[in-house]
Amino acid sequence: MLGKGGKQQVLRLLLNDEEKTLLDFQRSGYFVETGWFQSLSNRKPVDNNGHEIPWFTYPSVVFLDKRIQKGLKIFEYGSGASSLYFQAKGAALYSVEYDNAWFEKLKPSIKEPNKIFSVSYSKESPDAYVEAIDIPGIHFDIVVVDGRARVKCCKKAVDSLNATGILILDDSERERYTECFSIMTQKGFRYIEFWGISAGDYNLKCTTVFYRPGNCLGI
């Protein structure tokens, strides 16, 4: 009976050159080192050690990974693997979620004093969701816009950032979010676009970081 190594050898004999190349991708290289195959298999974004990472582009995750410090105050429009990632980094996390079923599934994983809020959302009345960032006495180091009503959320988030705060907009390649760039640049923000693929996906996308001089990430 063939072991795993023997099966791999037999399989290689049956494959053409392109198929052999694809097989090699599953053994070493970028897709293994980033956890891309593991994310595809698990249907959630993880690194090669199985730890949750944001569903941002890989270049942006690498960029952020060494810059997210313990104690940073982070607000997320849209919760998920990024919430668990920031929580593991020791952030003071607030996250708003419009999908109640997803909220109930994720809620047990959010540890105190971090907080997650469920807010109903509709296109006709997005105000409660957009304004969930209004928390008395708190301004944030980082705001992540990765949920509904992203243009409105970008516009609202600017006033909730502290002087060194940055904003992360995911899926920023989408044409309907073009206005976010105008909103942020008019407020004095510069930006870096991180193009690439994300965990378990193969579509080219972009995650953009908006920042001002003297920001909390040291850009």
- Domain residue ranges of the chain, discontinuous segments joined by +: 50-211
Question: What mean pLDDT, rounded, does the chain reach?
Answer: 89
pLDDT at 32: 87
CA 155 – CA 182 distance, rounded (Å): 10
CB 77 within 8 A of CB 147: yes
Bridge-based pairing of strands 140-145 and 73-77 is parallel
Q: Answer yes or no: is pLDDT of 23 > 60.
A: no
Q: What is the mean pLDDT of residues 102-118?
A: 95
pLDDT at 29: 81
CA 2 – CA 208 distance, rounded (Å): 48
CB 54 within 8 A of CB 83: no
The string of pLDDT tens digits covering residues 2-13 is 445 555 554 455
pLDDT at 136: 92
Q: Answer yes or no: is pLDDT of 20 > 50.
A: no
Please tell me the CATH code under which domain 50-211 is placed. Answer: 3.40.50.150
Q: How many DSSP H helices and E strands does the chain contain?
A: 10, 7
Higher pLDDT: 95 or 123? It is 95
Q: Answer yes or no: is pLDDT of 26 > 70.
A: no
Helices 4-14 and 17-25, axial angle in degrees (round to 10): 150
CA 126 – CA 114 distance, rounded (Å): 24
CA 119 – CA 141 distance, rounded (Å): 22
What are φ and ψ of residue 85, in 5° steps?
-65, -50
Annotate 167-216 with DSSP letters as a single string.
EEEETTTSGGGHHHHHHHHHTT-EEEEEEE-BTT--S-EEEEEEE-TT-T
CB atoms within 10 A of CB 93: 26
CA 206 – CA 84 distance, rounded (Å): 21
Residue 28: band (very low, low, confident or very high) from pLDDT cuts 50, 70, 90: low
Partners of 140 in the β-ladder: 161
* CA 207, chain centre distance (Å): 8
CA 51 – CA 34 distance, rounded (Å): 11
Q: Answer yes or no: is pLDDT of 1 > 70.
A: no
User: What is the sign, positive or negative, of the torsion defined by CA atoms of 90, 94, 98, 101?
Assistant: positive
The string of pLDDT tens digits covering residues 124-148 is 888 999 999 999 999 999 999 999 9
> On the CB side of 95, how many CA atoms lie within 13 Å of its CA?
30
- Please name the amino acid found at residue 128: A
Residue 31: band (very low, low, confident or very high) from pLDDT cuts 50, 70, 90: confident
pLDDT at 11: 41
pLDDT at 124: 80
